[in-house]
Amino acid sequence: MNREEFIDEIERAIEMVDQARHIVDMAIDSVDGHFLKANYEAYGKYGFDQLLGTGNPYDNSLQYLIDKFDSEDM
């Protein structure tokens, strides 16, 4: 896989993860269960945030993979 293909694939994955997060957020928002919402916000959403780079700034995101790959001399 060349550099452009790699970047395109990871960017496509970022879009898909963002879409999935949006779908799950909408589903959680439509539920009346406070425990379910709180559990998702505390634990489940973390994975989306980590992948998208919208959570802990010390976590590596998918964008980090692109940046790291792009900075390597290949």
19-54 burial code (b ≥16 CB/10 A, e <16): eebeeeeeebeeeeeeeeeeebeeeebeebebbeee
Phi and psi at residue 57, in whole multiples of 5°?
-65, -15
Based on the structure, what is the number of domains in the chain? Answer: 1
Q: The pTM is what?
A: 0.85
Question: Can you give the pLDDT at residue 71?
Answer: 83
In this predicted model, what pLDDT tens digit does every residue of 13-25 receive, in sequence order?
999 999 999 999 9
Compute the distance between CA of residue 29 and CA of residue 21 in angstroms, rounded to an integer. Answer: 12
Residues of the domain holding 58: 3-71
Compute the distance between CA of residue 60 and CA of residue 47 in angstroms, rounded to an integer. Answer: 11
In this predicted model, what pLDDT tens digit does every residue of 31-69 receive, in sequence order?
888 888 999 999 989 999 999 999 888 889 999 999 988
CA proximity to 51, closest of 67, 41, 43, 62: 62
